[in-house]
Amino acid sequence: MQKLLLFVDKVSTWVGHAFSWLIVGLTLLITWEVFSRYLLDSPHAWAFDAMIMLYGTLFMMAGAYTLAKNGHVRGDVLYGFFTPRTQATIDLVLYIAFFIPGVVALVFAGYYYAAESWAINEHSTVTSEGPPIYPFKTVIPVAGAFILVQGVVEIVRCVICLKQGAWPSREEDVEEVDVDKLKEMVHVKDEDIQKLDELVVHREPGK
């Protein structure tokens, strides 16, 4: 079971990493449009739509990845003080009562929303000669499906935690630097850092 959970985590992580490259594309597009608009006096009407679609795709496709890393916004003022079993109980109730119905509705509504867009060959009306938006709308049910699968994994984690009293492991990913852990890894103590600081100060000119 744990291997299956970690496999889904890896898929969500891979999808998140793959679509994160849209940040590069969005940055290049914005840079080029600013250059073209203000220096070449040649703005592109489709650029604004393209920026919205790139960012929207990035935002939606990162949902499963963020859920896999337990990174969604959480009001954990009290949550963090609860035991793992209490946390799992709260999460399980919220997943079943709100998450699953909401995401299932998103997938079904998004499917019909995208299908209608493809049927009418829909183009953006935000700007003149707007680009096609049916590929963008297709992202809605696809992203919803990834989030739904990851949500089922999180529910299974809640059940395991209720049985074992501890949260099962997750797929590791890039995290913020833990200074204390870094010190431990390189065998450096606070006293060593303080001595180094004092040595640098004494070597400064005029000190």
Phi-psi region of 130 (alpha: psi -120 to 50; beta: other; left: phi over 0): beta
132 SS3 class: strand
| Judgement on whether residues 156 and 204 belong to the same structural domain of the protein | no
| Judgement on whether residues 47 and 35 belong to the same structural domain of the protein | yes
Q: Is the predicted pLDDT of residue 74 greater than 80, yes or no?
A: no
Domain count, the chain: 2
Average predicted confidence (pLDDT) for the chain: 87
8 A C-beta contact, residue 114 and residue 137: yes
| Judgement on whether residues 115 and 190 belong to the same structural domain of the protein | no
| Judgement on whether residues 86 and 181 belong to the same structural domain of the protein | no
d(CA 22, CA 29): 10
| Judgement on whether residues 149 and 200 belong to the same structural domain of the protein | no
| 29-56 mean pLDDT | 91
Q: What is the pTM of this model?
A: 0.78
Q: Provide the percentage of residues in the chain whose pLDDT is more than 90.
A: 61
User: How high is the pLDDT of residue 202?
Assistant: 62
Q: Is the predicted pLDDT of residue 30 greater than 70, yes or no?
A: yes
| 37-50 mean pLDDT | 89
User: 165: which DSSP letter?
Assistant: S
| Judgement on whether residues 163 and 203 belong to the same structural domain of the protein | no
What is the domain extent for residue 207? 177-207
| 44-69 mean pLDDT | 93
Task: Give the tens place of pLDDT for each residue, 170-185.
Answer: 766 555 555 566 667 7
d(CA 6, CA 4): 5
| Judgement on whether residues 158 and 187 belong to the same structural domain of the protein | no
CB atoms within 10 A of CB 67: 21
Phi-psi region of 193 (alpha: psi -120 to 50; beta: other; left: phi over 0): alpha
User: How high is the pLDDT of residue 77?
Assistant: 76
Phi-psi region of 187 (alpha: psi -120 to 50; beta: other; left: phi over 0): left
| Judgement on whether residues 128 and 185 belong to the same structural domain of the protein | no
Task: Give the tens place of pLDDT for each residue, 118-131.
Answer: 999 999 887 777 89
| Judgement on whether residues 69 and 109 belong to the same structural domain of the protein | yes
User: How high is the pLDDT of residue 102?
Assistant: 96
| Judgement on whether residues 190 and 125 belong to the same structural domain of the protein | no
Q: Is the predicted pLDDT of residue 141 greater than 60, yes or no?
A: yes
Q: Is the predicted pLDDT of residue 18 greater than 90, yes or no?
A: yes
Give the position of tokens 């990845």: 65
| Judgement on whether residues 167 and 190 belong to the same structural domain of the protein | no
In this structure, of 58-67, 75-84, 127-136, 139-148, the range with the lowest mean pLDDT score is 75-84
| Judgement on whether residues 182 and 131 belong to the same structural domain of the protein | no
User: How high is the pLDDT of residue 59?
Assistant: 94
Give the position of tokens 């896999």: 68
| 107-120 mean pLDDT | 96
